[in-house]
Structure 1
């Protein structure tokens, strides 16, 4: 069985000022670096040794992984990037303010087509709405987006199982992690608002994922206690 520690990257410049990052990228802030340093120290304090590491090919996930591996004493393990576990692509809205897209453009689209509803609309509806209004032609349909997310994480898990890995760490993105959890466990509520540096616990065995605690901040909290002693 493969134990998977699925991490949302550390806090970035765009996270801090409320901009939709998507496939665009900004570096971790000083607070973001501190947060994933805490995470690495928390892993170390728990004695977790990783056999393999994976991240998207975005700079913010690569930077996050560096802090995790260095501070958990897991440097030197096999590590590769996989572009399939990137964040959602927001097309021409990449880099725009979150409020403009999620509180402005999308509700107007849903209202126009009669699908406006209370609470968060499902991922398929959101993805296809972004695709419909993207003027750059970069955004993905839900079929494309969900397909590459599921394929990417599944291939990582299969590769790790074949290598007899017990513990792996993956750094990905908030909306991508939320979508993946919903895809593998559709009966669960779709996770929203995952904190930077949070951990979602999964296992993989014989072709099946199981979901444990989602958005776990206990490793960061433990690391913070170590730093502030």
Structure 2
């Protein structure tokens, strides 16, 4: 059994200004840097060492990973954030309302908005992370990704509402998952700022 630590990047400028941030990018804030350093301390305190590390191709994720570990890592498009099409960079108030639903579904892929559907995000996250875990020669992997992409990934395994599982998905949230060779199993979620 292998362990995946799947985590979100630190706070960015777009997070502060409540801008939709998917395929677009913005830099880590001072708080985001502090969150990444808290995540590093979280892993060090528990004696967790990574045999492999991967990051989204987006700078906010790779910058976060580099604050946690100085080991070599791969940047993978398959774990990048959900593409929100023409909504990129716009106010989060424009996000569609979806009461009682688990995600935005096909909203950003429909109507000529040029974005991705949730199932497309989920499919690439599952395929990429499964391949990473199967190819890893070790047993502990760190993957730095994004909130929307992580949410889509979790929806494959956990029933909505996920609040029943007390899953934290804020900036630098850490999800501990076990991998049995083909499937992932949710273990726990951590907020490194609360855990240290």
**TM-score, structure 1 as length reference:** 0.78
Larger Rg: 1
Unaligned residue ranges in structure 1 (runs of 5+):
70-74, 108-116, 224-229
Aligned length: 193
1:1-229 mapped onto 2 (5 Å cutoff)? 1-69=1-69, 75-76=70-71, 78-100=72-94, 102=95, 106-107=96-97, 118-119=99-100, 121-123=101-103, 126-135=104-113, 137=114, 139-160=115-136, 163=137, 165-183=138-156, 185-187=157-159, 189-190=161-162, 194-214=169-189, 216-217=190-191, 219-223=192-196
CA distance 1:29–1:134, change in 2 (3 Å): farther
Q: Which string of whole-angstrom CA distances, capped at 9 and with x for unpartnered residues, describes residues 105-137 of structure 1?
A: x24xxxxxxxxx633x233xx2312211344x3
Q: Structure 1 residues 16, 131: CA separation in 2 closer, same or farther (over 3 Å shift)?
A: same
More helix by share: 1
Distance in 2 of aligned mates of 1:155 and 1:35: 28
> Unmatched 5+ residue regions in structure 2?
none
The CA RMSD measured in Å over matched residues stands at 1.9
What's the secondary structure of 1:3's corresponding residue? strand
Partner SS for 2:27: coil
